[in-house]
Structure 1
Amino acid sequence: MIEEINEESDFLTSLMLTYGEEIKRLVYSYLKDWALTEDVTQDVFVTIYLKMDSFQGNSDIKTWIYRIAINKCKDMLKSWKYKKLFLTTQFFSLIETKTPEFYVIDGQQKDKVVQAIFDLPIKYREVIILYYYKELKINEISSLLGLSPSGVKTRLLRAKKTLEKDLGGQWDEK
């Protein structure tokens, strides 16, 4: 029994080291508040620990962890706690990212692009972030969000068109 707990604890520690920062950035992309991000990220890993035995291996462990994180974020976005916080505090700050796209864009344009992405409706924002910044494939996003691959492609296209309109043609996916 104790040995089993130690193995699970070691596995969870390994997952936290491997995916912790990545999950934190994903959660922040939904909530845009670092304090809530910390809470929800911790809740994600508590849920992983409690539900480890329910992981069936039908998908990659990363996909399973992302699904838990996205569900936790959506739960938080629906909660009164979040709505109250949203109404009483400023919530926009830049995401920290090290993607090639953001090295190319100068500071002012970066601010505009990030703001435009955060201003997108959540259904468009999540596909943009998962595809361009988390570099997930269409099929992985499809699995994560419970959409068909064509549904993901449609959302990506609509998100890009919205960004192009909002940025006056400055959106360049490369």
Structure 2
Amino acid sequence: MEEERQWILEVLAGNKKAYAHIINKYKNPLFATILRMTRNPQDAQDLVQEAFIKVYHQLNKYSGNGPFSSWMYRVAINHCMDEFRKKRYKMKQVQVDDDMVQDHHHPEVIFLKKEKNRLLEKLLLTLPEEERMILLLRYVNELSYSEISGIIDLPLSDVRNKLHRAKKKLRNTAEREGGYFHELSNGR
């Protein structure tokens, strides 16, 4: 946290190279979040780059109150939502190429992991966009309820309710469809 503040101060003082530290720290988690929103790797990459540019230009607006990561995610997700509205963005299916998987385990293990991820992505697509985003921010990015509340500009109680509803919907869908996610239907 203190290291981030130092990087921010350096960038604001004119050291543009210090911004590379911020990018390196957040590029992978931000890409993962946006990829799950867009379901298209190229679009996600473009949106991440645009989001980092937007964060850079708005860095002087970061007040230092609260974690920088929450502020940065809010700027990035708001940018994505604006782009979705402008382009009337339609979700696209991600095709996972076998070459993208760099796992040196047994082929059957790789297959099972890919199948489980595919089914989980399919389950997530059954949720409304806002609920899906809340789930991703909570469990993929490991943000607190209050951080999520600030990012998507919803009261804390609404975040908790939507997260609860989203998990319940996933459990119900898993129960109906069975497969790998039968443990969801058992309330785990």
Q: How does 1:138-153 map to 2 (within 5 A)?
A: 138-153=145-160
How far 1:59 sits from its partner (Å)?
2.0
Deviation string 1:104-130 (CA, Å, 9 cap, x unpaired) is xx5344322221113311111011111
- What residue in structure 2 maps to residue 99 of structure 1? none
SS at match of 1:125: helix
- Does the CA contact (< 8 Å) of 2:73 and 2:151 recur in 1? yes
- Aligned residue pairs total 156
Match of 1:50 among 48, 54, 57: 57
- What residue in structure 1 maps to residue 8 of structure 2? none
How far 1:81 sits from its partner (Å)?
6.5
In the aligned structure 1, how far is the partner of 2:88 from the partner of 2:161? 32
Structure 1: any 5+ residue segments left out of the alignment?
Answer: 97-102
- What residue in structure 1 maps to residue 138 of structure 2? 131
In the aligned structure 1, how far is the partner of 2:117 from the partner of 2:47? 27
Structure 2: any 5+ residue segments left out of the alignment?
Answer: 1-11, 102-108, 177-181
- What residue in structure 1 maps to residue 93 of structure 2? 91
Matched residue type, 2:63: Q
Say whether 1:10 aligns with 2:17.
Answer: yes
- Does the CA contact (< 8 Å) of 1:131 and 1:138 recur in 2? yes
- What residue in structure 1 maps to residue 27 of structure 2? 20
Match of 1:119 among 109, 116, 126: 126
In the aligned structure 2, how far is the partner of 1:93 from the partner of 1:131? 25
How far 1:142 sits from its partner (Å)?
1.1
Say whether 1:41 aligns with 2:41.
Answer: no
- Does the CA contact (< 8 Å) of 2:41 and 2:94 recur in 1? no
- Does the CA contact (< 8 Å) of 2:124 and 2:170 recur in 1? yes
TM-score by length of 2: 0.74
Aligned identity (percent) is: 23
Q: Tell me how large the CA RMSD over aligned residues is.
A: 2.4
TM-score by length of 1: 0.79
In the aligned structure 1, how far is the partner of 2:130 from the partner of 2:65? 25
Deviation string 1:70-99 (CA, Å, 9 cap, x unpaired) is 11111122122734xx5xxx52346x9xxx
In the aligned structure 2, how far is the partner of 1:92 from the partner of 1:140? 28
How far 1:64 sits from its partner (Å)?
0.9
- What residue in structure 1 maps to residue 9 of structure 2? none
- Does the CA contact (< 8 Å) of 1:138 and 1:153 recur in 2? yes
Q: 1:110 to 1:26 in 2, by over 3 A?
A: closer
- What residue in structure 2 maps to residue 100 of structure 1? none
Q: 1:81 to 1:156 in 2, by over 3 A?
A: closer
In the aligned structure 1, how far is the partner of 2:55 from the partner of 2:139? 26
